[in-house]
Homo-oligomer: A and B are copies of this chain.
Amino acid sequence: MGLVVQKYGGSSVADAESVKRVAKRIVETKQAGNDVVVVVSAMGDTTDDLIDLAKEVSPIPPARELDMLLTAGERISMAVLAMAIANLGHEARSFTGSQAGVITDAEHGKARIIDVTPGRISTALADGAIAIVAGFQGVSQSTKDITTLGRGGSDTTAVALAAALNAEVCEIYTDVDGVFSADPRIVPAARRLPNISYEEMLEMAASGAKVLHLRCVEYARRFGLPIHVRSSFSHREGTWVVNREGNDMEDPIIAGVAHDRSEAKVTVVGVPDKPGQAAAIFSTVAGAGINIDMIVQNVSGASTGRTDISFTAPRSDGAKAVQALETIKDQIGFEALRYDDQIGKISLVGAGMRSHPGVSAKLFACLAEAGVNIEMISTSEIRISVVVREDDVNTAVAAAHTAFDLDAADGEAVVYGGTGR
């Protein structure tokens, strides 16, 4: 057998009982003859509780100290998990991100991994021990300060360690059975995907599928590392995220339908139609630290010499975007700002799109038939996204899922374990 890296999220180690269950699973993997490295997140709500504590003493805690504080969370979970494994008669050694050699830049709160030097992990494995590593954290190469990797950080830790240790697979344990063709809460006929390509998974993640983070998928793709997304509550196979060379004719054209309700739309109304205006608008928004997703510029009204520019961005940044744009209203000379947070986005993702023309047309037709109005459109080589009213999201997802023959056949078991996270 080989080396398996397993990652367990906070919901898999929410309390002592869950920790014991996960410990049992880890020991089974070890007893099957594998070397095992486990990456673990903080238990349950620990991170939120620590953030609340920080807020009690400081409205804007310094980022270095917030990282120091939050990394206590995984320190607790990894030590407790190591104890639970020891209690089953196997040696386990826990390591902080720093001890595991997760070297990052110095961007506290969203550090990027720049090197992984897992010498102590290799030694632990050579000694026959199971290595437990704190997810989400590392140490800055330049300042030697403790850093956190930000959103999806533990998945990234797991993939980075798996790549550095040349693992056979990185198993990401979650509370669902894998990646689905759509959110089963919206589409009961959604199917678990037995496998999906890195590219498709990237587009799904970017389009709102929350089971894996963009960043960890990017990392795995770069190293060609297989990810196995599966449930910590069952022993069923999950979804393999792998390199798929070429298109198998048997593969479905569309892998899945993702949706996203976390964005809002900002419309800059009556922008004078002259060069440099769009640049001024988007450099202002970017300067405020806001990530823009889709952009649509209306055809300029010939009679008015003015145009409307709309874009979508995270709702949590909506107020900041409007505020930033207000400051350049006079400079640009636009007429008004409109803010709309009642939108939703649905995205069709599939590598088969490359070789199958007409996917867009079919999507638009099925949405029209379902009475769903399309407000914005954006495409990549293997994705089509449309913005619709938030109230229409469920209808749109279900209609597209059916139109592209993704619905499970009658009697095909759809297993769904949890919250869609």
A residues bordering B, Cβ < 8 Å? 16, 19-20, 23, 50, 53-54, 56-59, 61-62, 64-66, 68-69, 71-72, 75-76, 78-80, 82-84, 86-87, 92-94, 99, 120, 144
Contacts and interface: CB of A to CB of B under 8 A. Distances in A.
6 contacts: A20-B57, A57-B84, A62-B86, A65-B86, A66-B83, A72-B72
Q: How many copies does the complex hold?
A: 2
A94 B65 contact: yes
Dominant SS at the A interface? helix
Contacts of A75: 68-69, 71-72, 75
A66 B80 CA distance: 8
A58 B61 CA distance: 35
A141 to B, nearest CB: 15
Given A64-B93, A68-B94, A144-B120, A59 B79 contact: no
Given A62-B86, A71-B75, A72-B75, A16 B53 contact: yes
B144 A99 contact: yes
A93 B80 CA distance: 28
A16 B71 CA distance: 19
A57 B72 contact: no
B68 A87 contact: no
Given A16-B56, A57-B20, A79 B84 contact: no
A56 B13 CA distance: 13
Contacts of A80: 53-54, 57, 65, 69
A264 B80 CA distance: 35
B78 A68 contact: yes
A57 B84 CA distance: 5
A80 B20 CA distance: 30
Contacts of A120: 144
A94 B57 CA distance: 15
